[in-house]
Homo-oligomer: A and B are copies of this chain.
Amino acid sequence: MTTVKHFQFGTPIETGAVIRNVPAAGSRIPGWVQDEAQGTLCRDLSEDEIVYGLGESVRGMNKRGWIYESNNSDDPNHTEDKHSLYASQNFFLIFSRQHSYGMFVDTPGKVSFDIGYSKMDQMKISLDDFAANVYTIEGENPTEVIRSFHDLIGKSYIPPKWAFGYGQSRWSYMNEQEVLEVVRSYRDAGIPIDSVYLDIDYMDHYKDFTINNEAFPDFDRFTRQMKEQGIHLVPIIDAGVKIEKGYDVYEEGVEKQYFCQKENGENLVAAVWPGRVHFPDFLDEKTREWFGGKYQWLISQGVDGFWNDMNEPAIFYTEDHLKEVFRKIDLYRDQNLDIRSFFAFKELVDKIDNNPEDYRRFYHHYHGQLVRHDKVHNLYGYYMTMAAGEAFRRYSPDKRILMFSRASYIGMHRYGGVWTGDNKSWWSHLLLSFQQMPGLNMCGFLYSGSDIGGFGADCTEDLMLRWLEMAIMTPLYRNHSAEGTRRQELYRFEHIDWFRNLVNLRYALIPYIYSEFMKAVLSGGMYMMPLSFVYPEDERADRVEDQLIVGESIMLAPVYLQNAVGRSVYLPEDMKLIRFRSCEDYEEEILTAGDHYIPVALNETILFLRKGHVLPMAQPAQDVEQIDYSKLFYLTYEAEPEDYELYNDDGISPVS
């Protein structure tokens, strides 16, 4: 039994995150000290309380000891001292053995969560504008609270089943030949693959809904040719629309006033990849309808998946600001630049891009009002993705389309998944991306994942192996890397057999992954969760930050340190360790509850099977469609295969 309450203070801006009507029970939230003048909500934290949630954010699963800011930011340096990443997911869960308490602070502007930073035993929420719909959910255990919350915000987006297969991405595969070579190399290496991602260079001069015809002379044919080989091409879509005479998207947008405007009514001139762009006003319904319809042009060419990028929105510069900067630069010319003036000069240039001031330069048409962007900043990526999602339902009612986004806000989870943005080939990011999963799940984002191997910086072979092992059950399973970094397609490394075995294992696990993912979506539950969700009474388990439960049967405990040949694992109950070197070559060992040091070689993936549970597995397949469900086999620990309730469907038809 949970109790859901709704409080409202100020005049909150609607976000569309909540789909159920819960009448407001007033404006004062029991248990919190509200200070309207300061714009804060405060509450003491007892020593045994763990604070989970806040989706995609830095640091561990327990968020205590830092300030997190909801303020969607295009910042590729996800170091511990950052306060914001690409997403704003304002739900957290205070957990103790006695009770679970969830709160969703529903407001589209900036929110700061000081969780024991200023004072170790206090939580302080600060709002830029003191207006919000706040939902609280009290319950006996975290699972119940999350189910209630997911009931409030609606079920997670469901991708096509092929989107659980392995995806290969790069900024960028420049043309048909490069894509063909990637696919051929994977097939030659015998490593399964379902998708190849097209980053910004597939477009004609970075113009949305265009194709570079020199690189892809017949995109329609190529898409279908790839599909015949079991490969889905997944193009990127950017938020900014290039300013270029004769470019239809630009011309239509200007004519129909689909773009964000400045106070003076002119369209904002900002810049991203192509240089100067306008930003579609996704908060305006008519713009969404128009922009969403554009995806159809690619779908008609055989595309059935997209990723929405740069939709915080990322801004290299606005034209107005850039002019100011160049004026100011001249003040530094021919000076003796010392510690103050030199760094002021550098900062002037360094802070041109993603400058918060730019978010005050333009407006949205939202529910009949003109609203300055910064007031609704965190909705932009969400509404861009909604534009696509609504269009998919209109134009493609019988088929799921893959969609995930970089920027997000709760509510967007109904239209697409997320990837955790431009991470790095760091071991610390391997762990971070593992720890981000439960927080994302709590906030409704079940289809999610990180760039495997890391996007920025150079990946090493051991990092790639360990990352693939860590992410073996992560729904989105995509290897992506940036221009200028070491190539990290799996076939480029030395131990191709290890990679083949690993990705084969992923595919063998898809019956379980898909089944548990779908059951979680349909029940409003969690797919990847902290141990405390399953063992709330176990003090030790509640503090574990580097193990997760996935679905009903499996505990993960990946190796995440370079040169480690094993790790310590805590078992809250007796479990069966399964040590895979491949789908065929594995060992099972029953371990008693407690602490264990487990050796794990670089080419091994370890899973822990819970007592009384079953792990269904398939024979390896070269793509998801080829998985043969008639030949499943079952690993069990004091259970029978028939104890497992397998969910399956055609993987394509919409499910609700």
Is A316 in contact with B329, judged by CB distance below 8 angstroms?
A: no
Please count how many residues in chain A sit with their CB below 8 Å of the partner chain's CB atoms.
Answer: 69
A316-B337 in contact (CB<8A): yes
- A425 at the binding interface (Cβ < 8 Å): yes
Task: Verify if A81 is at the interface (C-beta below 8 Å from B).
Answer: yes
Cross-chain contact B349 with A79 (CB below 8 angstroms): no
- Whole-angstrom distance between the alpha carbons of A509 and B339 in the complex? 40
Residue A211, interface by CB 8 Å:
no
- Produce 1/0 per residue, A320-345, CB < 8 A to B: 00100010010001101111011001
A563 touching B80, Cβ below 8 Å = no
With both chains docked as a complex, state the minimum distance between the C-beta of A3 and any C-beta of chain B, in angstroms: 28
Q: How far in angstroms is the closest Cβ of chain B from A83?
A: 10
Asked if A276 CB lies within 8 Å of chain B CBs, one says yes
Which residues of chain B are near A62, meaning CB under 8 Å?
562-563
A568 CB–B CB distance under 8 Å:
yes
> Which one of A10-18, A86-94, A144-152, A457-465 is at the B interface?
A457-465
Contacts of A558-576 to chain B: CB distance below 8 A: 561-566, 568, 570
Q: Are A274 and B338 in contact (CB under 8 A)?
A: yes
Interface residues of A in 348-378 (CB under 8 A from B): 349-350, 352-353
Cβ of A293 within 8 Å of any chain B Cβ, yes or no, is no
A545 interface contact, C-beta 8 A: yes
B333 touches A79 (CB 8 A): no
Chain B residues with Cβ below 8 Å from A460 are 65-66, 117
Q: Identify the closest chain B residue to A352 (Cβ).
A: B346
Assess the B563–A81 pair: CB atoms within 8 A: no
Residues of B within 8 A of A206 (CB): 338-339
Complex interface: chain B residues within 8 A of A562 (CB) = 59-60, 62, 64-66
User: In the complex, A334 Cα to B326 Cα: how many Å?
Assistant: 9
Q: Is the CB of B427 within 8 A of A80?
A: yes
Q: Are B426 and A81 touching (Cβ within 8 A)?
A: yes
Q: Interface code A421-457, partner B: CB below 8 Å = 1, 0 otherwise?
A: 0001111100000000000000000000000000011
**Which of B50, B338, B352, B494 has a CB less than 8 Å from the CB of A119?**
B494
Q: Pick the 5 closest A-B CB pairs, nearest first.
A: A568-B568, A275-B338, A81-B457, A275-B336, A349-B349
14 further A-B contacts with Cβ under 8 Å, apart from A60-B561, A79-B424, A81-B456, are: A65-B463, A80-B428, A80-B457, A81-B426, A81-B458, A120-B495, A274-B338, A275-B341, A346-B353, A349-B350, A428-B428, A568-B595, A568-B597, A570-B597
